[in-house]
Chains A and B, each alone.
Chain A
Amino acid sequence: MVNRDLDLVALERKARLAQHEDGLAEILAGVLSASFAAWMLTDRGAWGAIVPALAVVALARVRRWLRYPRVGYMRPSSLWWPGQGRMWAVITVGSVIALCALCFITARHGATVVTDAMMAGFLVAAAVLAFAVAEAMTGLARWYAYAGALAVAAVAAHFAGLSIIYCLLIAGGLLIVWGLLLMVRFIRKYPVLSESAPASGYGNDAGGEQ
């Protein structure tokens, strides 16, 4: 039966999702969001450039140590990636909406007038678009939840008279904590299966050829 009913699309999705359960993407998104907010608040270049760059390098190394020995390494296929079309659709639609919004604002307020509210709106829209792209790339629906939560928080902050920057800072902090929780769950769920590990722990039926 398996020979007839094996769904290759579901198999591809399962393979891809296994690579994104460790919470590293959430931690990276959190660090980027928080460091961007810190940069806007303190005006120190280190927060805007050095911290994100260090985070990317550090998380790439952590991924090699954390993910590959547990769920293995795979290179996605350009032929078999149903999410690819969706990702480009999200980017295209998002860009068109952003352009339309820009044209609308420019026509209404003049080319040189950019208020704080507009800038905040752009920041939140960019963050929401980034989350939507992350969802399209990874196939994890929870990125839409992050985007929705951020949009709601931004609207709440606007009505409360708070700066949107704090919203990004808090969202970044929460994402980092959530990413760490996901990482702990991942470590508990997947034991190390590295190739150099002793074979006896995983069954020893060499020659079990049928």
Chain B
Amino acid sequence: MSTPGEPNDLRSQALEIDRVVHEPARYLIMACLYVVESADFVFLLQQTGLTRGNLSSHLAKLEQAEYVAIDKQFVERIPRTLLRLTPVGRAALIAYRQRMQRLLEGPG
């Protein structure tokens, strides 16, 4: 039985890391969406510096995990993809940050 702070505990925490959020590009996307109510695709392109294809594929992953809600709409016949972090996504991001902080601080 391991107590908090012991190597076994750290190992189990490391294994519990959310792999969807752990990928740096996805983490950046989620962080960008965390600080706003909603944003469009162009905004994320600009803020993250990712390419279109990369951003699209990461967003698809996040949508699949139900961390991001994607709403496609037309504003004056121009397509706009509005994205927002779901409550599940917000909770996942917070939990991930806390877990990473604990892990990196280590047993000491």
Contacts and interface: CB of A to CB of B under 8 A. Distances in A.
Interface residues of B, number: 41
B35 A8 contact: yes
Interface string A67-99: 011111111111010000000000000000000
A193 B37 contact: no
Contacts of A193: 42, 45-46
B81 interface: yes
A143 B108 CA distance: 47
A195 B35 contact: no
Contacts, number: 125
Interface of B: 22-25, 27-28, 31-32, 34-47, 51-54, 56-58, 61, 75-76, 78-82, 96, 100-101, 104
A116 interface: no
6 contacts: A4-B100, A72-B42, A195-B40, A205-B53, A209-B54, A210-B23
Interface string A6-22: 10100110110010000
Chain A interface size band reads: 35 or more
Contact of B31 (A6, A73, A190, A202): A6
Contact of A194 (B24, B54, B56, B78): B78
Contacts of B82: 73
Contacts of B31: 6, 8, 11
A71 B41 CA distance: 10
A72 B43 contact: yes
Contact of B37 (A68, A71, A76): A76
A11 B36 CA distance: 10
